[in-house]
Structure 1
Amino acid sequence: MTNATKTGHLYGYARVSTTDQDLSIQEAALQAAGCTVIRSEKKTGTTTKGRDALQTLIEFAHEGDTIVVTRIDRLARSIADLASIVRDLEAKGIALKATEQPIDTSTAAGRAFLQMLGVFAEFETAIRRERQMEGIAKAKSEGVYKGRKPSIDVVKVRELQAAGKGATEIAKALGIGRASVYRVMSGASA
């Protein structure tokens, strides 16, 4: 059977950002779409680094196959990552489809829609980040948020330094990095 007459396999990819989120809805949708293999992971979508299930799926799929997601934001949250993934898939002759969006990279309209959604996903991530920073700034101005607690006990570092201990010994004793000890010793804040 040649590639022209062979119908490829449908492989599903499901992703959530945090460990307390549930993958079952995505997995059920991918099964209903006819995916024979589904790879899932609980990783951030802001980067493709460390997303082993996605990488395995891309390496495993062959020409004529299709990778299916429920929504494009399950695949990538930035235009750069999305474009990179789509380029990798196209180079191998693999199509990309979404069950909840009219995305099918085997068609011109599907590719155009994919690119538009990628722009909106990146914009949404940037807006969310801006709102978060605004919220932190407001909380700081109201005295509600003071940032994380210092991880280095400056007084303890100085006590050990005064007792004649070196940076390496202080770092080991306090379970911190030598660079942090040096910052305290030089008078910079940790």
Structure 2
Amino acid sequence: MTQTARTGSVERKTAETSIAIAVNLDGTGAYEVSTGIGFLDHMVEQFSKHSLIDVTMKVEGDLHVDQHHTTEDSAIALGQALANALGDKAGIGRYGSAYSPMDETLSRVALDISGRPYLVWKAGFSQEKLGEWDTELIEHWFHSVSQSAGLTLHCELLYGTNNHHICESLFKGFARAMRIAVERDPRKGGAIPSTKGQLGG
């Protein structure tokens, strides 16, 4: 039986940002990312590489104001593209979790592609910026993705001191958890993984 491609794309234009995003859930982790914020580019690239979800992301935002709109809107559009690619979510694993060590840092990410967006965030940073990216926006990025993709998402820093390692560990953990959750389970036979017969709503 031929399976349909699981791809999604979003174009989002406002007075604050212009965004074009495309994803392929069954990719190889190929990416082309340009947001105008170097460290955010690096984190989205890490997400793509370790989830094996191909991501093309082009963002032009009002960075002369600050980084908030670019961070938020790109995360919203990415979540929407992921939701589009998932469709009715038939046959997916649905749940995913990962421990992600990076040197002295260890984080844990668990998620459910439930259609019921919710973020639990237990992490923090001891400096205001990573590169030029405001660290207060990192939690907001995860919140925006969880809302628009319909994810119940738990992100927890277990321990760590280096801010770069903390952020990268969380993004890689998110990527690994998503890889598990979006994969098709052949034992499910294409069934939607819920006793309700649908996810969300």
Which category describes the TM-score, using the shorter chain as reference length? under 0.3
Greater RCO, 1 or 2 (C-alpha within 8 Å, sep 6+)? 2
Normalising by structure 2, report the TM-score: 0.25
**Greater Cα radius of gyration, structure 1 or 2:** 1
If the length of structure 1 is used for normalisation, what is the TM-score? 0.26
Which structure carries more strand by proportion?
2
Q: Pick the structure with more helix per residue.
A: 1
